[in-house]
Amino acid sequence: MSIAANILIVDDHPAVREGLALLLAQDQHTVCGEASCRSELLSLLGSICPDLALVDLSLGEESGLICIPELLSKKCPTIVYSMHEDAGVAKRALNHGAKGFVSKRETSTVLLEAIQTALNGNLYLSPRIAANLEADGNLIDTPVQPPQLSEREREILILLAKGETNADIASTFNVSTRTVETHYSRIQIKLGLKGMKALRKYALCEFRPI
């Protein structure tokens, strides 16, 4: 039996969101909210309780990966719906807690099947993604609890991933470069990283647009 659900769409293309809304309505789902970036998502999560979220990985200058922990904290299962089909990208999304990964090159039937599978508490990989993971060895690491970074720490890592200097970041937040360096130290402790090279690599991996 199909489950009708309230679904949140996170995608920075209005036409894609409109098309998804029409498709979901045909399967008796309701779009309870739309967001084009993480900040819009956060503002929505305070007033809605989605049963499931569809998240793109390319959100302008942000990576959709950073939205998955926010949705997990609200106990909202997430399906990544993206043009990216690389096995490495899929693994990262799944290790962040995504309940499924569907290529945008699949048919609409595949996406609707993924939604029902996730609503029933199971993992779903679309055929293209499953094939790429199998070719890559199908090795998915054990999911780990996302680190509890503060909002400012996330903002700093996003800017670091964009290649901004300490001076640039300090100017953005109207603080001293020493304060920025203090944030770096705290983030490294939380993440168990040693040195700026490791921190910059983490920022590029987690916060750079895919």
Give me the residue spans of the domains in the chain.
6-135, 151-207
pLDDT tens digits, 79-93: 999 999 988 888 889
Q: Which long-range contacts (CB under 8 A, 24 or more apart) does 79-84 make?
A: 79/52, 79/53, 79/54, 79/55, 79/114, 79/115, 79/118, 79/124, 80/55, 80/56, 81/11, 81/20, 81/54, 81/55, 81/56, 81/111, 82/56, 82/57, 82/58, 82/210, 83/58, 84/57, 84/58, 84/210
pLDDT at residue 1 greater than cutoff 70: no
pLDDT value of residue 142? 44
pLDDT at residue 141 greater than cutoff 90: no
pLDDT at residue 190 greater than cutoff 70: yes
pLDDT value of residue 133? 87
pLDDT value of residue 54? 98
pLDDT value of residue 154? 87
Class for the domain spanning 6-135: alpha beta
Cα end-to-end distance, the chain, whole Å: 36
pLDDT at residue 34 greater than cutoff 90: yes
pLDDT value of residue 112? 96
Q: What average pLDDT is seen over the chain?
A: 89
pLDDT at residue 184 greater than cutoff 90: yes
Q: Percent of the chain scored above 90 by pLDDT?
A: 60
pLDDT value of residue 144? 45
pLDDT value of residue 207? 82
Class for the domain spanning 151-207: mainly alpha
pLDDT value of residue 206? 80
pLDDT at residue 23 greater than cutoff 80: yes
